[in-house]
Chain A
């Protein structure tokens, strides 16, 4: 089981961000929410590592100054 990667790991970050927003183009709030939920499930299955996923959930719950601290 792997550690969650929280250092830059994404090639072409600007391109990915643009694509992420574009996927939501023309969708209502409800449709966007549903897309996000499907996306999370698809990515979770792709990651397939329970430890990394638990760390991601913990990291995602942290906000503000806590956000920089290392996930457990």
Chain B
């Protein structure tokens, strides 16, 4: 197995910017080449917006880190041209088992809804994820897309100027200055940019430590998610076992608060613990081990003038429910089309405030869910443990208790019901799931899928309804996607978009979120909704 995280994928090389007499100016500078920064660069480059990514390192991250990628982020990756390679490499699973003490209390099957291109989620090490994003970025670059990834470039300062932002960048060959119309800070939970700007980042720190280990096993463990509460090999704590590609298993062991963190990661302490968990007969090799403490917090605002924060730099959650990288990708999805319109002068800067409003809502939902999971997994008081154990005890014989078991609620996208960008919900009889503010539900279309036909620009989706092929409102245009209910023999398209309605017209944003819907086409109404969805009026 190749050690992808030991390979320099984008080694430092001298940029002409370093020898420029006056600082070179770029449309967008992204700080950080993690999953969020890379995805943002791909998104902007796809839309023809010139972008430079600065990363202090030159390779993907070490260790599995984020390992669960959920359905909505996979759909976003499809739009970015990187979804299929992720799914091809990733591990799919539907079965989970829950253990309490020394016994299995129940198992479950996710049974995802049919008629979607993508599964509920895949397991994939973050280093593979980043590597595949780099691959996509280099592909775009080779085709002439305006994107550049600079390794060994550490941002030392960010200052606001009249024209935009100026950055001081340190390299192995000294420092240089750069100018940017816009900066996206994707520089992680410890965000140096956030600190340089003296911005707040408050929230709840959980007093707990978790050991995470990547283990290469030749054992024949099934492809299932196993979660233990209070197991014999980790008394009073929890444990998680998850399968990743290349025969690598991810193990998370809760350690408690008062521990020696340095000692905890030493192989001579880790291996006996894993041996107890996996059994004497299983052969394994430790690939990576780390201890982490997590926090649930967010910035008050994600946009500060021409600096926009996305991913962990803006918000952090506990790992339960896989809401870190997944929410960062949704930040990118929400931000990039807006930034592209603003950068090209097609929409007012205030459109970016809707990024702040919509993604703060997403972060709040994620923080709420992950805090609830944490409180279940790690009871803070005697009475919370009492109820937690009561739920687990009951779950073995009584199905009703299983929805109360919370080992992480898997990331689902939020619905922006209160978004200022939403237009009318004027399609009586249509289902709530595709109302304005909701991400479009996928549906089969012959051999393909609906979501493959949406995104990157505004779409006027008509189902059994008439409309012109193109609608314009000032500099903003929407292209029509004309469908008939008969295009989907399974009936999912009609069920998800029409319900009891005979026909429908949907205005869909470039990020595949429904902006408005009507029973029929009416030009002035659609134009008004287009203006509203792009920050006008």
Residues of A within 8 A of B (CB): 33-34, 37-38, 40-42, 45
Establish whether residues A41 and B386, one from each chain, have CB atoms under 8 Å apart when the complex forms: no
With A41-B394, A42-B394: A34-B400 Cβ-Cβ less than 8 Å: no
Complex Cα–Cα for A65 and B440 (A): 54
- Which residues of B have CB within 8 Å of A34? 386, 389-390, 393
Interface flag for B391 (CB, 8 Å): yes
Interface centre among B387, B398, B404, by most chain A C-beta atoms within 10 angstroms, is B387
Check B501 for interface membership: any CB of A closer than 8 A. Answer: no
| Bound complex: CA A34 to CA B391 (Å) | 10
Which chain B residues border A41 with CB–CB below 8 Å? 387, 390-391, 394, 401, 404
Query: In the complex, A64 Cα to B290 Cα: how many Å?
Result: 52
CA distance in complex: A38, B386 (Å): 9
A residues near B390, Cβ cutoff 8 Å: 34, 37-38, 40-41
| Chain A, Cβ-Cβ closest to B401 | A41
A51 to chain B, nearest CB (A): 19
Shortest CB-to-CB span from A10 to chain B, Å, is: 22
- Minimum C-beta distance from A60 to chain B (A): 13
Q: Which residues of B contact A38 (CB under 8 A)?
A: 390, 393-394
Q: Are B400 and A37 in contact (CB under 8 A)?
A: no
Chain A contacts of B387 at CB under 8 A? 37, 40-41
B interface with A by C-beta (< 8 Å): 386-387, 389-391, 393-394, 398, 400-401, 404
What residue of chain A has the Cβ atom nearest to residue B386's Cβ?
A37
5 nearest A-B residue pairs (beta carbon): A37-B390, A45-B400, A38-B390, A37-B386, A37-B387
Q: How far is the CA of A19 from the CA of B394 in the complex (A)?
A: 21
Residues of chain A lying within 8 A (CB to CB) of residue B404 = 41
Query: B402 to nearest A CB, angstroms?
Result: 11
Bound complex: CA A34 to CA B398 (Å): 16
Can you report 19 A-B residue pairs in the complex whose CB atoms are below 8 A from each other?
A: A33-B386, A34-B389, A34-B390, A34-B393, A37-B386, A37-B387, A37-B389, A37-B390, A38-B390, A38-B394, A40-B390, A41-B390, A41-B394, A41-B401, A41-B404, A42-B394, A42-B398, A45-B400, A45-B401
- CB-based nearest B residue for A38: B390
Residues of chain B contacted by A45 (CB below 8 angstroms)? 400-401
Chain A's closest residue to B395 (CB) is A41
Closest approach, in angstroms, between the C-beta of B406 and any C-beta of chain A? Answer: 14
Given contacts A41-B401, A45-B401, 19 further A-B contacts (CB under 8 A): A33-B386, A34-B389, A34-B390, A34-B393, A37-B386, A37-B387, A37-B389, A38-B390, A38-B393, A38-B394, A40-B387, A40-B390, A41-B387, A41-B390, A41-B394, A41-B404, A42-B394, A42-B398, A45-B400
A34 to B383, CA, bound (A): 9
Q: Name the A residues within 8 Å of B400 (CB-CB).
A: 42, 45
- Of chain A, the residue at the smallest CB distance from B399 is A45
CB neighbours (8 Å) of A42 from chain B are: 394, 398, 400
Q: Chain B: which residue is nearest A48 at the CB level?
A: B400
Smallest CB-CB separation from A39: which chain B residue? B390
B134, chain A: closest CB distance, angstroms: 48
Q: How far in angstroms is the closest Cβ of chain B from A39? A: 9
In angstroms, how far is the closest chain A Cβ from the Cβ of B413? Answer: 24
Identify which of B386, B390, B398 gathers the most chain A CB atoms within 10 Å of its CB.
B390
Chain A residue at smallest Cβ distance from B390 = A37
Inter-chain CA distance A38–B397, complex, in Å, is: 12
Residues of B within 8 A of A37 (CB): 386-387, 389-390
A33: chain B residues within 8 A (beta carbon): 386
The minimal Cβ–Cβ distance linking B401 to chain A, given in whole angstroms, is 6
Shortest CB distance B410–A (Å): 23
Least Cβ distance of A2 to chain B in Å? 19
Q: What separation, in Å, do the CA atoms of A41 and B404 have in the docked complex?
A: 10
Shortest Cβ gap from A59 to chain B (Å): 18
Tell me which residues across on chain A come within 8 A of B386, comparing CB atoms.
33-34, 37
B424 to chain A, nearest CB (A): 30
Nearest A residue to B387, CB-CB: A37
Taken together as a complex, chains A and B put the C-alpha atoms of A18 and B394 apart, in Å, by 24
CA distance A45 to B401 in the complex (A): 8
**Cα A34 to Cα B392 with chains together (Å):** 11
A37 to B390, CA, bound (A): 6
Give the CA-CA distance A37 to B391 in the complex, in Å: 8
